[in-house]
Amino acid sequence: MSDSNRLRIAIQKSGRLSDDSIALLKAIGVKLQIRDRLLIAHATNLPIDLLRVRDDDIPGLVMDGVVDLGFIGENELEEKMLERQASGKKFEFKTLRRLDYGGCRLSIAVPNEFNYQGVQSLEGKKVATTYPFLLERFFKENNVNASAVMLTGSVEVAPRAGVADAICDLVSTGATLEANGLQEEEEIFQSKAVLIQRAGELPEAKAQLVSRFLPRIDGVMQAKE
């Protein structure tokens, strides 16, 4: 399976970035046969392997040099950088392109009945999130003493479940907030998908492949403008 001559690209297995990332790879000429249950997909026309994983794992795979490239949301990337910084681990990578999909924002939202008067209203409160490092940075920058409650999913039900007073989660259309009786109050981070590369030199053949792809990615994005 692991053939070091093949360019290894990590993409989200399923979720907001997977379809658009696969569509982009196809648009730049990578022929793929994706079988739903498989972790690895081989390109049929080029020396490329796709590693299909959870998006949370992608920044670390690139930073540890396990894969050569990764398609990832800036929110996940920034969160992982802060996490690694806090634990003294290295977090090197290169951003090759900011992409035109995966747009969303990380926002703090409170229940409709919460009388929100600005960030100071969060003083002493519990805020449920999957992004504790980004949230704590926001608290620090705004001199608020509040705590982040880590949840990996179903963040939007935390206030109703009595687990937290507010949430900090990704918002794109706002439908999830609305369906859960939550009001968006603070936008703390704006995100799009990016293509990142591991630190260090790629072997010549892989580097050439990547440098052939980048202008094609630019072309695909321009054509959509």
Which parts of this chain interact with ligand PRP (CB under 6 A)?
15-16, 153, 155-156, 169-176
116: phi then psi, degrees, rounded to nearest 5: -85, 125
* Shortest Å distance, C-beta 152 to ligand PRP: 8
Burial label for 24, CB within 10 Å (0-12, 13-18, 19+), is buried
Question: Which of Zn ion, ligand PRP, none lies near 196, with the C-beta cut-off 5 to 8 A by kind?
Answer: none
Structure tokens, 98:
């900011």
Q: In whole angstroms, what is the distance from residue 174 CA to residue 117 CA?
A: 21
* Shortest Å distance, C-beta 81 to ligand PRP: 19
* Shortest Å distance, C-beta 1 to Zn ion: 4
Q: Which residue, 1 or 175, has its beta carbon nearer to Zn ion? A: 1
Question: Which of Zn ion, ligand PRP, none lies near 173, with the C-beta cut-off 5 to 8 A by kind?
Answer: ligand PRP
CB 27 within 8 A of CB 101: no
Q: In whole angstroms, what is the distance from residue 214 CA to residue 74 CA?
A: 19
* Shortest Å distance, C-beta 169 to ligand PRP: 5
212: phi then psi, degrees, rounded to nearest 5: -75, -35
Q: What is residue 202's DSSP assignment?
A: P
Q: Which residue, 96 or 157, has its beta carbon nearer to ligand PRP? A: 157
Q: Which residue, 16 or 42, has its beta carbon nearer to ligand PRP? A: 16
Question: Which of ligand PRP, Zn ion, none lies near 211, with the C-beta cut-off 5 to 8 A by kind?
Answer: none
* Shortest Å distance, C-beta 34 to Zn ion: 14
* Shortest Å distance, C-beta 155 to ligand PRP: 6
C-alpha triplet 97, 197, 9: angle, nearest 5°: 100
Q: Where are the beta strands (DSSP E) in the chain?
A: 7-12, 40-42, 48-53, 69-73, 93-98, 104-111, 126-129, 147-150, 166-171, 182-191, 193-198
Binding mask 1-20 for Zn ion (x = CB under 5 A): x-------------------
Q: Which residue, 39 or 86, has its beta carbon nearer to Zn ion? A: 39
Question: Which of Zn ion, ligand PRP, none lies near 1, with the C-beta cut-off 5 to 8 A by kind?
Answer: Zn ion
The 3-state DSSP composition of the chain as helix, strand, coil percent (nearest 5) reads 35, 30, 35
Site residues (vs Zn ion, CB under 5 A):
1
